[in-house]
Structure 1
Amino acid sequence: MTADAVGRFLAALEPRQREAVAGRPRADQERLAGAWEQELASDDELDTLDELSPPAAEAEAARRVMDREA
């Protein structure tokens, strides 16, 4: 996992979630960023949203990953 993917994932999170994830161990951050990238790559609905608004698609994928974590 690249630092760029973790940074992009953190940027896509809501501020409160960003703080919580930033405080987790690096391996956990990388795991979540990997799940986020998988969510972006595998969901056709997000592909459509990505064409209209890449930041909105990234935020929605981040929300879904964090919802599964809860």
Structure 2
Amino acid sequence: MPTDAVGRFLAALDPHLRDAFTGKPREEQERLASEWEQELESDDELDTLDELSPPAAEAEAARRVMGREP
């Protein structure tokens, strides 16, 4: 299991989004991973999901972050 934010974010992404993420420059990957961590920390809905299934909460937050990308 990856321990850095970028690696954890990559692991949480759906397979079809991984290529889009890995094709981005490292600085952009770090920014997205940071947004993902903030999404996990700040969304109460994800807190509830996290109690039931942490991987599902991480995947949902990753989808949201990548969905905001142009």
Does the alignment reach a TM-score above 0.5?
yes
Which structure 1 segments of 5+ residues have no match?
none
Corresponding residue of 1:6: 6
Q: Look up the match of 1:44.
A: 44
Matched, 1:63 2:53: no
Per-residue CA deviation, residues 1-50 of structure 1 (Å, 9 max, x unaligned), is xx710000001111121111111100000000000000000000000100
Q: Distance in 2 between matches of 1:56 and 1:16?
A: 16
* Partner of residue 30, structure 2: 30
One-letter identity of the residue aligned with 2:21:
V
Provide the aligned length of Structure 1 versus Structure 2: 68
- Counterpart residue type for residue 60 of structure 1: E
Name structure 2 gaps, 5 residues minimum.
Answer: none
Name the Cα RMSD after superposition: 1.1
TM-score norm. by structure 1 comes to 0.92
Separation (CA, whole Å) in 2 of partners of 1:65 and 1:33:
9
More helix by share: 1
CA distance in structure 1 between the partners assigned to 2:45 and 2:61 by the alignment? 10
TM-score, normalised on structure 2? 0.92
